């Protein structure tokens, strides 16, 4: 992708080739522009003695050829126009989108602009340099500053290539009044999180401009309901600055309203949620004291991630926030911030990270078997088998399968296995777990299409979603869902039934099921561990409309006005931060 970009580098200490002199009647002429951008080679264009612009002519040609090589930024007298002034204003505020102004309109481009104002003979250098800056800006705005797959192997979004030159030409053809709004359309504003992050960035920069916020001291007593303490006033103010309702900003009493707000802040920011501020070292106070610059940087990093998503992202989709371990299910015709379903998830551990990627659900497995991958068997199950042997299999409704035959090991043979001396080398088996509420996949599985065996599924351990397990990065890479059965109901029937609302159906009528009238709960075990009839094990229901799934590691976002920030257990934010800095240092990141 980057090799197709317009490349501008400042070269010092080299010989420069000047542009051929341009006579007065040729100012702003299309033939002169075509002469330069129509060449299929790098064209050195000199500006004053402090540097040299290298322009990728074929990329410039993609824009200018659509407009008959008509100039964009200068008039027939070679002078910068109102369009140039509008572009200057846009690029000087690129930081609204978390971009670096100096990557587009730096001191060198400013000097070119001034040179063209003072001497029309400089028009062609400014014209093409300004277009280069524009294309770099909309490219970064639309597809990002670098190939995301260069960050790490847990990011599966491939680099997007900027191709929207026709749209860009339309945008610059609107004129100086309309061009700013037209260029805004290249940002991922249609992604519901992006506009929220832009708002957060503006608010945090306002706080910074006002001198940032003071550190809140740790309380010597636990702040809880009915406690009166001067720190309560500061606490209320800080929560309000972060978009939460701090309540009565003049009251120093820790009332029930503040307790509820603190609980919400804790829950939204990945903290242990009890609505209290513990005495001594409080994680809640530490979170509230996070430096504004750190929060600003975190927002910018997450805005970059949203540029990896496709521009034509479907309105109907599932969005898995890997950092916040949350899932949103969105549908056509609904407010984009009003999902059909929202619930928590359990995602991959830091050393078994769930990838950031797009995938699709084509069918749902009800009462699935689970075949444990060998890696998980060796890491997690082998020691249990050494200790408990056949008893471990029986207690978890598992079957030991022979790798050689693909068939279950006969019951009588299980008594002759030397369980204590099993090793990865002599373990010539694999484990298959029968459908039941004990099954590691729970009672519903949502297969995906990726080659890494990552999918969504129910869980046999609902305690993972309780507050004491606030850190929910605990899986081996797949995504466990808090409301898997509700999701299955929605995908299959288009309805959400909820607990206790499922219609009844006889097992023998399964093949005649009208899924628009029946709930998935009609087919999953309730009273016992096992499904009553083998016929209905691992039942696949194919969807009329496959469901796109997006998994993205967003560590900053907002819920309404409430700013939310969580830790970075995958270290992805740090790697993106370094990539952004590397881009700024080198001009281009290869």
Decide if 55 is inside a domain: yes
Across-strand partners of 220? none
> Given 184, 210, 233, which residue is the final one in a domain?
184
Regarding whether 483 and 386 lie in a shared domain, the answer is no
Q: Return d(Cα 323, Cα 301) in angstroms, integer.
A: 13
Please compute the mean of the pLDDT values over residues 260-286 and round it to a whole number: 92
Decide if 407 is inside a domain: yes
Is 90 exceeded by the pLDDT of residue 383? yes
Is 70 exceeded by the pLDDT of residue 127? yes
How confident is residue 162, by pLDDT bands cut at 50, 70 and 90? very high
The count of domains in the chain is: 3
Q: What is the CATH number of the domain that holds 350?
A: 2.40.440.10
Regarding whether 497 and 392 lie in a shared domain, the answer is no
Cα atoms in the 13 Å half-sphere on the side-chain side of 106: 15
Decide if 17 is inside a domain: yes
Decide if 45 is inside a domain: yes
How confident is residue 2, by pLDDT bands cut at 50, 70 and 90? very low
How confident is residue 585, by pLDDT bands cut at 50, 70 and 90? very low
Between 519 and 153, where is the model more confident? 153
Regarding whether 457 and 398 lie in a shared domain, the answer is no
Decide if 24 is inside a domain: yes
Between 502 and 288, where is the model more confident? 288
Chain centre to alpha carbon of residue 83: 35
How confident is residue 555, by pLDDT bands cut at 50, 70 and 90? very high
Q: How far is CA 446 from CA 318, 441, 541, in A?
A: 12, 10, 10
Residue 256's pLDDT is 94
Regarding whether 344 and 378 lie in a shared domain, the answer is no
Domain range for residue 48? 2-184
Q: How far is CA 482 from CA 310, 327, 345, in A?
A: 27, 9, 6
Regarding whether 449 and 416 lie in a shared domain, the answer is no
Regarding whether 483 and 410 lie in a shared domain, the answer is no
Please compute the mean of the pLDDT values over residues 523-533 and round it to a whole number: 62
Strands (E) across 351-409 are located at 357-366, 370-371, 398-402
How confident is residue 159, by pLDDT bands cut at 50, 70 and 90? very high
Decide if 569 is inside a domain: no
Regarding whether 15 and 79 lie in a shared domain, the answer is yes
CA angle 189, 172, 26 (to 5 degrees): 155
> Given 148, 164, 184, which residue is the final one in a domain?
184
Regarding whether 504 and 380 lie in a shared domain, the answer is no
Regarding whether 30 and 43 lie in a shared domain, the answer is yes
Decide if 288 is inside a domain: no
Regarding whether 544 and 442 lie in a shared domain, the answer is yes
Is 80 exceeded by the pLDDT of residue 414? yes
Decide if 26 is inside a domain: yes
Regarding whether 538 and 475 lie in a shared domain, the answer is yes
Q: Return d(Cα 227, Cα 262) in angstroms, integer.
A: 14
> Given 160, 184, 208, which residue is the final one in a domain?
184
Q: Return d(Cα 245, Cα 316) in angstroms, integer.
A: 31
Given a contact cutoff of 8 angstroms between Cβ atoms, the answer to whether 154 and 477 are in contact is: no
Helices (H) and strands (E) in the chain, counts: 18, 18
Regarding whether 42 and 101 lie in a shared domain, the answer is yes
pLDDT digits (tens, 9 = 90+) for 70-105: 999 999 999 999 999 999 999 999 999 999 999 999
Total-model pTM: 0.88
Q: How far is CA 421 from CA 290, 416, 573, in A?
A: 51, 12, 43
């Amino acid at each position: 992708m980057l090799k197709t970009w317009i490349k501008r580098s400042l070269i010092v200490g080299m010989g420069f080739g000047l542009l051929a002199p341009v006579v007065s009647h040729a100012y702003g002429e299309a033939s002169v522009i075509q002469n330069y951008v129509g060449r299929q080679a790098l064209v050195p264009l000199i500006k004053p003695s402090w540097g040299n612009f290298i322009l990728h002519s074929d990329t410039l040609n993609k824009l200018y050829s659509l407009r008959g090589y008509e100039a964009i930024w200068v008039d027939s007298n070679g002078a910068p126009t109102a369009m140039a002034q509008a572009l200057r204003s846009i690029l000087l505020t690129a930081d609204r989108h978390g971009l670096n102004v100096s990557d587009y309109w730096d001191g060198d481009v400013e000097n070119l602009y001034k040179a063209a104002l003072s001497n029309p003979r400089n028009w062609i250098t400014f014209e093409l340099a300004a277009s280069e800056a524009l294309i770099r800006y909309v490219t970064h705005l639309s597809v990002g500053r670098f190939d995301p797959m260069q960050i790490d192997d847990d990011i599966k979004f491939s680099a997007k290539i900027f191709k929207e030159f026709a749209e860009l030409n339309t945008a610059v053809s609107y004129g100086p009044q309309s061009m700013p709004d037209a260029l805004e359309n290249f940002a991922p504003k249609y992604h519901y999180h992006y506009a929220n992050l832009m708002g957060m960035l503006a608010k945090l920069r306002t706080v910074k401009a006002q001198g940032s916020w003071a550190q809140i001291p740790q309380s010597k007593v636990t702040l809880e309901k009915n406690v009166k303490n001067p720190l309560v006033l500061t606490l209320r103010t800080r929560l309000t600055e972060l978009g939460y309702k701090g309540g009565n900003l003049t009251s120093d009493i820790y009332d029930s309203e503040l307790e509820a707000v603190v609980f919400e802040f804790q829950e939204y920011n990945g903290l242990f949620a009890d609505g209290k501020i513990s005495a001594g070292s409080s994680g809640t106070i530490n979170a509230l004291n996070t430096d504004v610059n750190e929060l600003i940087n975190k927002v910018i990093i997450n805005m970059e991630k949203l540029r990896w998503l496709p521009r034509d992202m479907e309105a109907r989709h599932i969005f898995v926030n890997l950092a916040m371990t949350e899932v949103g299910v969105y549908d056509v015709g609904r407010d984009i911030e009003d999902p059909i379903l929202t619930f928590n998830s359990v995602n991959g551990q830091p050393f078994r990270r769930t990838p950031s990627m797009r995938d699709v659900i084509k069918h749902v497995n009800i009462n699935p078997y689970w075949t444990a991958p060998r890696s998980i068997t060796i890491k997690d199950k082998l020691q249990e088998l050494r200790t408990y042997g056949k008893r471990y299999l029986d207690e978890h409704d598992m079957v030991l399968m022979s790798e050689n035959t693909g068939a279950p090991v006969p019951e009588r043979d299980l008594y002759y296995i030397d369980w204590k001396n099993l090793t990865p080398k002599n373990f010539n088996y694999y484990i298959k777990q029968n459908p039941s509420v004990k099954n590691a996949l729970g009672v519903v599985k949502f297969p995906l299409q990726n080659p890494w065996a990552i999918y969504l599924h129910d869980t046999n351990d609902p305690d993972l979603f309780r507050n004491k397990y606030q850190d929910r990065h605990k899986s081996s890479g797949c995504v466990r869902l808090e409301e898997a059965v509700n999701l299955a109901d929605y995908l299959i029937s288009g309805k959400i039934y909820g607990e206790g609302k499922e219609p009844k159906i006889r097992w023998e009528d399964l093949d005649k099921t009208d899924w628009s009238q029946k709930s998935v709960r009609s087919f999953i075990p309730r009273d016992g561990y096992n499904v009553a009839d083998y016929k209905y094990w691992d039942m696949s229901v194919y969807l009329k409309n496959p469901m796109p799934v997006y998994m993205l590691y967003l560590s900053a976002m907002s819920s309404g006005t409430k700013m939310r920030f969580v830790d970075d257990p995958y270290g992805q934010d740090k790697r993106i931060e370094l990539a952004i800095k590397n881009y700024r240092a080198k001009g281009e990141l290869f």
